[in-house]
Amino acid sequence: MSTQRPGLRFSHLGFYVTDIEKQAQFYQQLLEFTVTDRGFLEGPNGPMQLVFMSRDPDEHHQLVLISGRPEHLAFNVINQISLKADSLSTLQSFYRRLKEAGVADIAPITHGNALSVYCRDPEGNRLELYVDTPWYVTQPCRVPAPFDLPENELLAWAEKHARTLEGFRSRSQWRSEMAQRMGVAD
């Protein structure tokens, strides 16, 4: 099975922050990132502090926090930062951890093709923690989901709901269609 288009692969994200230590602490304590390096670089408006963070020992950094974000922005250009969980159990564990920590704007939802938990980091950037489901539905789709159910009941609820939506089919069927459209068909 072909994995992706050759040539490029998404690697990491860097974004400006106002309080770099508060942001680093959030990503370390609640999302289990590790600081891999930190330092200073000269920027267009003077020195900038950088904190490199990763959850993968094969990746030096997956996030780079950079000082210099103004305290008041008319508009945050970051729509969301999405992190894929390795299982629904892991996702539900992070959901409980975020709730217990009093993180802002927690919203457990289904997209039909994924189960997601949305929240805000300390500076208001929207985060999405998610797992894919074994099926696909036409997007966009955003419906509140009962994340306090046991894992098997939540997955059954999500599938029952997804089967009522336009475009429902298996993820493998959708993947084959996309591989053909991308020119990487098996």
Give per-residue pLDDT as tens, 147-171.
999 999 999 999 999 999 999 999 9
Give the HSE-up count for residue 68: Cα atoms under 13 Å, Cβ half-sphere.
18
Rg of the chain over Cα atoms, rounded to whole angstroms, equals 19
Q: How many CB atoms lie within 10 A of CB 1?
A: 8
Give the HSE-up count for residue 47: Cα atoms under 13 Å, Cβ half-sphere.
3
Does 1 have pLDDT greater than 50? no
Bigger pLDDT: 31 vs 78: 31
Alpha-carbon gap, residue 29 to 53, rounded angstroms: 12
Bigger pLDDT: 8 vs 25: 25
Tell me if residue 39 falls in helix, strand or coil: strand
The whole-number pLDDT of residue 45 equals 84
The whole-number pLDDT of residue 44 equals 84
Query: Domains of the chain by range and CATH?
Result: 12-73 (3.10.180.10), 76-186 (3.30.720.110)
Q: Which residues contact 157 (CB under 8 A, 6 or more apart)?
A: 145, 146, 149
Tell me if residue 153 falls in helix, strand or coil: helix
